[in-house]
Amino acid sequence: MRAWIDGELLPDPTAPAVRISDHGFTVGDGVFEAVKVVDGLPFALERHLRRLARSAAGLGLPDLDQAAVRRGVAAVLGDGELALGRLRITVTGGPAPLGSGRGDAPPTLAVVADELAPAAATTRVATVPWPRNERGALAGLKTTSYAENVVALAEAQRRGATEAVFANLAGHLCEGTGSNVFYVVDGELRTPTLASGCLAGVTRGLVLEWYGGVEVDEPIEVVRGASEVFLVSTTRDVQGVSAWDDRELPAPGPVTTEAAAVWAKREPELLGL
Ligand SMILES: Cc1ncc(COP(=O)(O)O)c(C=O)c1O
């Protein structure tokens, strides 16, 4: 692992580096990105930086210093020896009083690079009873307030799955804790719209552009009639779903296989600093 924080590459990436009063640490006041690294190069960095800026603006954090983020990315990638990895870029409210109010200090900016294990070809998902709030202040933002995802994922893992899927307050299919969902009904590939409260996943956007699919919001029960389902995310790419709760599914199905092949073919186009 290599870690860079506020302009400095840490000699020991496991050493303490963030202040105890950092608002990201005390109240989860921060935003982040996870970026895939292939052969030492970041994937779709521009798209991730745009989303990071949107998330920061949504939280009311100061404008992102893009040049500083790029310096951090270059520093942790070093000589490009990471064959498959993940960058984690985090921006927080910085040191602040202990309550919810922000302080006057500048934001904290950290970039970390670490290895990433290749994703399994297929996975099992479990729906969880807690809704995503598509009307909340944080809807659609990639914030460090991820404890709801931690609780949901632990519940899914308890039930033998590797991802938890949420409906939203309207009862519509929304997203996973760290992934977007695609499903095939009547031969049509569908995924929830951004109005569902799901994150505008970089992988989701590229699958829609490169392969296609219809954006639609439907009750989560629609998936019971799906002929196939797949998850998409930075760490999973296109991953077939072999079981949804207690229903087994063919995985990877034909549409999933095609989408994954298009993904593998086009991924190199967006590798670079
Ligand atoms: C809540 C949530 N939804 C969807 C995704 C997928 O987004 P991306 O494809 O940009 O990784 C993520 C990524 O971690 C996420 O945290």
**Closest residue to atom 15 of ligand 1, CA basis:** 178
- pTM, two decimals, is 0.97
What is the DSSP secondary-structure string of 97-124? -SSSS--SSPPEEEEEEEE-PPPPSEEE
**Closest residue to atom 12 of ligand 1, CA basis:** 178
- Per residue in 193-251, pLDDT (tens digit) is 999 999 999 999 999 999 999 999 999 999 999 999 999 999 999 999 999 999 999 99
In percent, the amount of the chain with pLDDT more than 90 equals 100
State in Å: Cα 33 to ligand 1 middle: 9
Beta strand 41-42 with 30-38 is antiparallel
- Per residue in 58-69, pLDDT (tens digit) is 999 999 999 999
Ligand 1: atom nearest CA of 51 is 10
Residues flanking ligand 1, CB < 6 Å: 34, 175, 178-180, 199, 201-204, 232-234
State in Å: Cα 132 to ligand 1 middle: 14
**CB-count burial class (<10 Å; 0-12, 13-18, 19+) for 224:** exposed
State in Å: Cα 27 to ligand 1 middle: 21
Q: How confident is the model at residue 3 (pLDDT cuts 50, 70, 90)?
A: very high
Cis preceding linkage at 62, omega within 30: no
